[in-house]
Structure formats: structure tokens, C-alpha cells
Amino acid sequence: MKKNLLLSILSFCLIAISTQAQEALFSSQQITSPEIHKDGSVTFRIFAPRASSVQVTGDFLPTVKTQTPMGEMDGPGKAELTKDDKGVWSITTPVLSPELYSYSFIVDDLKTTDPANPFLIRDVASVTNVFIVGKGQADLYRVKDVPHGTVARRWYDSPGLKMDRRLTIYTPPGYEQSKDKFPVLYLLHGAGGDEEAWIALGRTAQIMDNMIAEGKAKPMIVVMPNGNVIQDAAPGEGNGGMYKPAFMIPKTMDGTYEVNFTDIISFIENNYRVKSDKANRAIAGLSMGGYHTMHISRFYPNTFDYIGLFSAAIMPREDATSSVYSDIDGTLKTQMDNGYELYWIAIGKTDFLYDANKEYRAKLDAMGMPYEYIESEGGHIWKNWRIYLTQFVPLLFN
């Protein structure tokens, strides 16, 4: 008798749990979030009947100051959702400008993704949802009905680093059928990133496909390496297994990457149909990648005709002793004397690296070293870096 009663109670509990789980599952499936309206406003929804508070945070909201490993920086704000009688929380934004946006929910102080939105993106160790609003600049980030290039993950041997390493390579539409040789853009990520950053967060493949189709960019190969020299690949993609990505890791900016960058160039020029001369090589990067770009291009001062610094870190730390940093002014002068087609610098007005870039431009001015300068709104954010890429690429290989 007691056994039957116990089984009945357990069955009831399992049915209740199953019903509750199905309720949550089906409620999430029936919810549209985000709902992008024709006027460019967006409604977010989440089914959380037992929650006492729900917020949304994302880069479509006004920024607030937040503490990061690199000091105080601008971060996304928060907005409160309201709950209806069915347990669905919602909020509708004002009209948003055309852009790719990322966001998360905060449910009772727990940050979480949107269960109704399957589109996710990783930035260092944070995973957020994404959506695209509007046309114009945002159209460059969409997959459109145009000829598409190919994105491959390749492994190259780095004798200098004594390991095989992974990189991401974009080849333009028609590369496989063509016998032509193509110019190359080496595109470098920032601190905490890896060989996945530019292709995912930066929408590089979509940008290149669309700009090539519109005749705004020359067909080119884009190489996106991993700038963390102690890694063979992005976390979860290499022999280190599945570990949590970190913002700054050992040997990140100590000169090792710069010295061994020629291993990457050698692999590309030995395995792809490329024009292997200075006039057909470009290098650009964001933040730490801008730092690497600046130092690689002057350490190998007759290698690249096009150089792009996007919100770049500039000078090495005081404890950096690599020979790469032993004669910065001298190698910059050599780079200038050798000549180049474009030295392009871009940064946001509220970027925490703004003053460092201002000082660097003063150094170049004093040397008489020519460059082009773009100053945008905003800070140290992917929105700016995607825009910079769309501004930089049309200037290449003309």
C-alpha cells in the first residue's frame, strides 16, 4: 500500500515537472523575440512567470562606465521589462539606427541569453544574442543573394612557435574556379579574441561578399590568424580542449607574435594563389591587433603597402624586452623611407586608447610620416571596428 502511494506521488511529481518544462518550452517557442518592426523599433520578450525582475542589456542602449581588466570603459546600459498576466516580460525600444546589435537578458540578477533567439555570438567568454536592424550600413552585415566566397579553417606549421596553428581564411567568390592570383589582407583580432573573432563578431565574410559584389572592394584573400602565441587554436578548437577563454593570456604582447608573423605569410604564399609582393599585401587589426599591425609592419618595414590601425594599442609595456621594440623610431623611419600606399588610423572619440593614438599621431607628424586619420563616435566597440573594415577595404590594392 505504502509502495503504491509512493509510486503515485512520484508519478504526480514527474508529470508536474514535465508539464512545467513543456509549458516553458512551448511558451518560448511561441514567443517572438526580438521582433523587429518596420519603423526600426524592436520588441524583446521572455517567458519568466516566476521572475521578480527582468532587464535587457545590449549595445543598442546608452553606454555606462564599467570596470574591465583594461580599466574603466564604456559598457552597455540596462532597461527594465514589464510582465503581463501570462508571465511574459517585454519592452519595445525607440527606433534604432541600422546596425548589428547584441544583447542579453538579466533575470533576477542572472544574465542569460534569449531562449526565443537561436542566433548567438561569442566575445571572449561572453555569449550574447544578435540581431540586425535596418538597411544602409547594416546591409553589409547580411547574407545577401550575391556570389559568396569560401571560409576555411586551416592549420599551418609555425617553426618559430614550434607548433601547428589554426587560422581562418576567406577566399573571394570564384577563387576555386579561377587561375588568377589575388592580393591578401591580414586581419588581426584584439585581446581576448582568436581566429574566430573577425569572422564571427566582425562579419568579415558578409562584408567582403557584399562589397565585392557592389564593386566597392577588389577581390582579395583575407587571413585571420590567432594572435595568442601560446595557443594553437581558439579555446575548444585546439589541443587544449574546452577551457574558458581569457581576456589576456601570457606572451600576448611581448614581441613573440611579431617576430614569427612571417610563418603565416609563408604558409599563405606557398598554399594559395596570391600576389606575393609588398604592393599586394595589407595588414590591419583592432586594439591588440592594431598594436600587432603597427609593430609587425615596421619590424618588417618593406613587407606591406597598406597598414590599418583600428582603435590600436600603441606602445609596448615597460617590461617588454623583445628586439621588436628596441628601435621603434628607427624602424618607423625605415618604413616611411621605403614608402607605402596607405597608413590608415581610426579611433572613436570616447575610446580609452584615444590619448595614446593622439600621442602616436604627434610622433608621426614630427617625423613627417604620412597617414590618413578617421575619428568616429563611440568607444572601443565592435560596431566601430566593423565600420572601419568597410571604410578600409575599398582603399586597398587600387
Residue 323 vs residues 38, 231, 314, 328, 348: alpha-carbon distances, Å = 56, 22, 16, 10, 31
Question: What confidence category does residue 381 fall into, taking pLDDT thresholds of 50, 70 and 90?
Answer: very high
The per-residue pLDDT for 14 is: 46
Query: What angle (nearest 5°) sits at the alpha carbon of residue 345, between those of residues 340 and 348?
Result: 170
Tens-place pLDDT, residues 255-274? 999 999 999 999 999 999 99
Quote the DSSP letter at residue 139. G
Quote the DSSP letter at residue 182. B
Range in 19-33, 122-136, 201-215 with the lowest mean pLDDT:
19-33
Query: What angle (nearest 5°) sits at the alpha carbon of residue 275, between those of residues 274 and 276?
Result: 100
- Each as own residue / partner, the long-range contacts of residues 377-380 (CB below 8 Å, 24 or more positions apart, any chain) are 377/348, 377/349, 377/350, 378/74, 378/348, 378/349, 378/350, 378/351, 379/63, 379/73, 379/74, 379/348, 379/350, 379/351, 379/352, 380/73, 380/74, 380/287, 380/311, 380/348, 380/351, 380/352, 380/353
Question: Residue 192 pLDDT more than 60?
Answer: yes
Question: Residue 383 pLDDT more than 50?
Answer: yes
Report which of residues 345 and 23 the model is more confident about. 345
Residue appearing with cell numbers 623610431: 329
Tens-place pLDDT, residues 36-94? 999 999 999 999 999 999 999 999 998 776 665 555 666 788 999 999 999 999 999 99
- In whole numbers, what is the pLDDT of the chain averaged over residues? 91
Report which of residues 254 and 271 the model is more confident about. 271
Closest by alpha carbon to 275, among 185, 187, 157? 185
Instruction: Please answer whether residues 204 and 189 qualify as being in contact, where contact means their C-beta atoms are separated by less than 8 angstroms.
Output: no
Residue 4 vs residues 10, 14, 17, 161: alpha-carbon distances, Å = 10, 15, 20, 67
Question: Residue 13 pLDDT more than 70?
Answer: no
The per-residue pLDDT for 247 is: 82
Cell triple for 221:
584573400
Question: Residue 12 pLDDT more than 90?
Answer: no
Rg of the chain over all Cα atoms, to the nearest angstrom: 24
Summarize the confidence of residues 143-154 as an average pLDDT.
98
Percent of the chain at pLDDT > 90 equals 81
d(C-alpha 92, C-alpha 71), whole Å: 32
Ordered DSSP codes for 76-120 = E-EEE-EE-TTSEEEEE--PPPSEEEEEEEEETTEEE--TT---E
The per-residue pLDDT for 319 is: 80
Q: Where are the alpha helices (DSSP H) in 152-261?
A: 197-200, 204-213, 256-259
Summarize the confidence of residues 309-322 as an average pLDDT.
91
The CATH number given to 31-134 is 2.60.40.10
CATH H-level superfamily of 145-395: Alpha/Beta hydrolase fold, catalytic domain (3.40.50.1820)
The per-residue pLDDT for 250 is: 86
Please check whether the two domains, 31-134 and 145-395, share a CATH topology: no
Q: What share of the chain is helix, strand, coil (3-state, %, to 5)?
A: 30, 30, 40
In one letter, which amino acid is 174? Answer: G
Domain boundaries, the chain: 31-134, 145-395
Summarize the confidence of residues 342-353 as an average pLDDT.
97
The per-residue pLDDT for 26 is: 47
- Strand ranges (E), the chain: 35-36, 42-47, 54-58, 63-68, 71-76, 78-80, 82-83, 88-92, 99-107, 110-112, 120-123, 126-133, 150-158, 163-171, 184-188, 221-224, 281-286, 306-310, 342-348, 372-376
The per-residue pLDDT for 16 is: 45
d(C-alpha 50, C-alpha 108), whole Å: 10
d(C-alpha 32, C-alpha 117), whole Å: 8
Instruction: Please answer whether residues 47 and 87 qualify as being in contact, where contact means their C-beta atoms are separated by less than 8 angstroms.
Output: yes
The per-residue pLDDT for 69 is: 54
